[in-house]
Chains A and B, each alone.
Chain A
Amino acid sequence: MFSIALKMLFHDRAKYLGLILGVAFSTLLINQQLGIFIGLITRAGAVIVDVPEADIWVMDPGVKNLDTIFPLRDTEIGRVRGVPGVAWAVPLYKSNVTIRTGNGELEASLLIGVDDSTLIGLPPEVVMGNIDDLRRPDAVAVSADGFRKVWRNQPFSLGNIAELNDRRAVVVAILKDSPKFTSSITFFTRYSQALQYTNNGRNQMSFIIGRSAPELSPEDVARRIVERTGLQAMSSRDFRWKAIMYVVQNTGIPISIGTVVALGILVGIAVVGLMFNLFVLENLKQFAVLKAIGTSNIQLLGMVFLQACVVGFVGFSLGLFGATMFFETAGKSPTFQGFFLPWYVAVGSGAVAACIIVLAALFAMRRVLFADPAIVFRG
C-alpha cells in the first residue's frame, strides 16, 4: 500500500512541490534566524572565549558585560594573587580606539592589552608572524578580519603601519580571534603599550584574568576572591553567560529574531497544514475507493502518515541544505564571520518540522478516517 501512497503523492506534482517548499521554507527560516541569533549573542562573550588559559575573571562589582567597564586599581592584582587557590593572575586591558584605515577612513576598533611578561590574553591561533615580536616597541597584532578591513584588498603581510589614536602601531602578527559584538577590528598589544595608545595613566586595568589551582573549581576560587577583595569575580563560563544574557535581556535581538522564527513556524503550519489537507481532500474519493475495495483504516492512516513523512523529510532536508549553504557562503564574509548552524538548532528545527507534519497529518487522517466508502456508488 505504501508504494500506492507514494504514487498518489508524487502524481500531483504542483501540490507535492508546494508541500515540500512549505516545510523547506519554514526549516530554512528557523535555522537561518536561530543560527544568526546564536552567532550574535555568542559574540557578546568572544573576548572571554579567546583567552582559554584563564578560567577566572575579576572586575569591578558594577560590571555587567565586557563593554561597560570600570577600571580597577593597579594594586588589586596583588590582592587577587594573594587569594588561596589562585594559580596565577594577570591584568587585561580592553578599550575602544579609533584607527585610520589605509584609505584614510576612521574606524572604531577594539584594543586588548595583555600581560607584558607572559602575553596571556592573546587568542591562541596565529595566522602570520610571531607573538614574541609584540615585545618590540609600538608592536601590535591585528585580528585577521581586522586586517582585511583596515588594509582592504591586500594580502596578509607584516610590517604594516596603523595609527591608533594618532599613535604609530606596527603590525607584527595576525591572529585569528572570535568575532566581536561591536567591531570586527581588534588590535592586541602589551598591557603597558595599550595604556600609551589610550593615553591613560594609572588605574586603567579593565580585568584581572587568572587560573584556579588544579584541585579547585574556578567557581570556588571566584567566590573566595569576592569574599577577600570585594571585587566581582566569576568563572569564565559564568562571565560568558552573563555577557550573553545581558545582550538577550537588554537588546531587541531576541524579540525580532523570535518573531521571524515564530512566523516561520506559523507559515509552515499554515501552508503545509492547508496544502496537505487540500491534497487529502482532493484524493478523498481515491481513499474511499481503497476503503471500499477492502483497505483497512490502519492501512489508510499508514499511507497518509507515510505521505506526510516523505513531505517532511524532503522539505526538511532541502531547508537544512539551504541554511547550511547560507552559513557556508555568508560565513566567508568578514561581517558574518563566526556565524554557524549549531547542531542543536538543526535538531530543534527537525523537531519543529516533525510537529508541523504530524499536525498536518492528524488533520488529514481525520478526514480519511471518516471518509464514507459508500460515496463510491454515488456519481
Chain B
Amino acid sequence: MGLPIAVECEGVIKEFGSGSTKQRVLHGIDWQVPLGATTFLVGPSGCGKTTLISIISGLLSATAGRVWVLGKETTKMRKGALVRFRADHLGFIFQQFNLLPSLTAVENAAVPLVVQGSTLASAKRQASGLLDRLGLEKNKWKYPNQLSGGQQQRVAIARALVHNPRIVISDEPTASLDAETGHEAMQLMREVASGPDRAVIVVTHDTRIFEFADYLATMFDGRIESFRQNTPSESSH
C-alpha cells in the first residue's frame, strides 16, 4: 500500500451475549486503513461493518484484539481519554444524519467545537463559513425539520468536519438520499474531507457511489474478505 496508516486493527474479536446466547460478530479482524484516502467498507447486512466502525470509533469495546487510530492504541485508552480523542480527531456522519432537532443548522454544525470547549457564539461563526462553502448560506438558520434530506446531509457533513478531524467515519451516508443528492453529498465529502493527512471511512451498500472510493474493503460474516485499491472499471459495475 505504501501510504501511512490511519487505522490499524489486529485480531479484533467482538462477541455479544454470554453463555449459550453468546454470538461472535467479528472473527479476528486484521485491517489497515491508509491515510490520504477514502476507504469504503462494504458487505451484506449483518456482516459486522457497523460493529467494526463502532470499535474503531471507540464507541464499542472489542472483546479481544487491538486497535490503533493515528498511531494511538485506542483499545488501551481510559474512557475519558478516549472521549477526548474522539472529540479531537474523529468526525461522524450518520445514516439518519442524527441532527439535534432543537438546534438550527449552524448550531448543529457548531456542536463539535462546543464539545471541544468553544462558546456557542464563536463556534457558530466558524461553522457558518463551512456551511456557506457547502451551499447552505440561505438555510443555516433553519431547523433540521425545515431542511430537505440533502440539506440535512450537508449539515451533517459540516458537523463532521468543522473541528478539522483527521478521520471521518461515515455510516451509509447516502442511504436516505436519492441518487443525485447522494452523488452530490459524496462529491462534497471528497472535496472537503479528503487530504494527505486525513482518512475517510465510508460504510455503504450503495454501489452507485463506489466511484468515490480509493480503497474497497469487503466484509463477509465478520471477516474482511478482501481489501484492495479501487479501479474505475470496478466502480462502474
Contact = CB atoms under 8 A, between A and B. Distances in A.
Contacts of B159: 293
Nearest to B110: A4
Contacts of B100: 4, 8, 286, 289-290
Contact of B86 (A11, A12, A294, A299): A294
Contacts of B90: 294
Contact of A294 (B53, B87, B96): B87
B2 interface: no
Contacts of A296: 80, 83-84
A129 to B, nearest CB: 66
Contact of A290 (B50, B94, B111): B111
Nearest to A288: B98
A378 B112 CA distance: 21
Nearest to B57: A292
A292 B94 CA distance: 11
A172 B12 CA distance: 100
Interface in B49-88: 50, 53-54, 57, 59-60, 80, 83-84, 86-88
A373 interface: yes
Nearest to A296: B83
A13 to B, nearest CB: 11
A1 B86 CA distance: 17
A155 interface: no
Nearest to B86: A294
A291 B159 CA distance: 14
A7 interface: yes
Interface in B147-184: 159, 171-172, 175
B83 A377 contact: no
B102 A7 contact: yes
A299 B159 CA distance: 19
A292 B59 CA distance: 7
A285 B95 CA distance: 13
Interface in A105-142: none
A373 to B, nearest CB: 5
- Grouping DSSP codes into helix (H, G, I), strand (E, B) and loop, the A interface class, with mixed when no group exceeds half, is helix
Nearest to B143: A11
Contact of B87 (A11, A12, A293): A293
A4 B115 CA distance: 10
Nearest to B159: A293
Query: Looking at chain A, what size class is its interface with the partner chain?
Result: 20 to 34
Interface residues of B, number: 33
Interface in A1-52: 1, 3-4, 7-8, 10-12
A353 B172 CA distance: 46
B209 interface: no
Contacts of A285: 98
A292 B90 CA distance: 10
B8 interface: no
Contacts of B84: 294, 296
B92 interface: yes
Nearest to A298: B80
B59 A374 contact: yes
Nearest to B90: A294
A378 B92 contact: no
Given A290-B115, A294-B88, A294-B112, A379 B95 contact: yes
Given A4-B120, A294-B88, A376 B102 contact: no
Interface in A165-222: none
A4 B54 contact: no
A377 B53 contact: yes
A321 to B, nearest CB: 27
B103 interface: yes
A254 B178 CA distance: 69
A1 B60 CA distance: 24
Contact of A377 (B86, B94, B107): B94
B115 A294 contact: yes
B112 A293 contact: yes
B192 interface: no
Interface in A70-107: none
Contact of B102 (A11, A294, A299, A379): A11
6 contacts: A10-B102, A12-B102, A293-B112, A295-B115, A374-B54, A376-B92
Q: Which 3 A-B pairs have the closest CB atoms?
A: A294-B87, A11-B102, A374-B59
Interface of A: 1, 3-4, 7-8, 10-12, 285-286, 289-297, 299, 372-374, 376-379
